[in-house]
Amino acid sequence: MELATAIILACCALGAGIAVGFAAIGPAIGEGYAVGKSCEAIGRQPESASAVRSNMIMGCAIAETTGIYGLVIAILLIFVAPNMFINLLKSVL
């Protein structure tokens, strides 16, 4: 029983790390690309800076929600899932 509990805790911690890791890579790459391209656009047409900037900020905010979803999944895996799996294990055994 103790080994099974340790395995459950380890897998939940590993899953939380993977969730945050993968959810952080995508938005970071996407936001960096968007900011770079918006700087290029502003450099080419400075008069459209306000429109480009507002669209860039909206896109970065939408991309950041992916990271927030990953964080929520990681928090659930750390604080909620272990108790659920341990209680399920106790009911089976």
Distance CA 52, CA 47 (A): 10
Sign, Cα dihedral of 40, 46, 48, 49: positive
pLDDT value for 64:
86
Question: From CA 42, how far away is CA 53, in angstroms rounded?
Answer: 8
Give the pLDDT of residue 76.
94
Give the global pTM: 0.74
Residue that has been written with the tokens 């459209």 in this structure: 48
Taking only the tens place, the pLDDT of each residue in 33-87 is 999 999 999 999 999 999 999 999 998 888 888 889 999 999 999 999 998 998 9
DSSP string, 31-78: HHHHHHHHHHHHHH-GGGHHHHHHHHHHHHHHHHHHHHHHHHHHHHHH
Give the HSE-up count for residue 8: Cα atoms under 13 Å, Cβ half-sphere: 17
Q: Can you tell me which residue has the tokens 């950041």?
A: 64
User: Residue 92's pLDDT band (boundaries 50, 70, 90)?
Assistant: confident
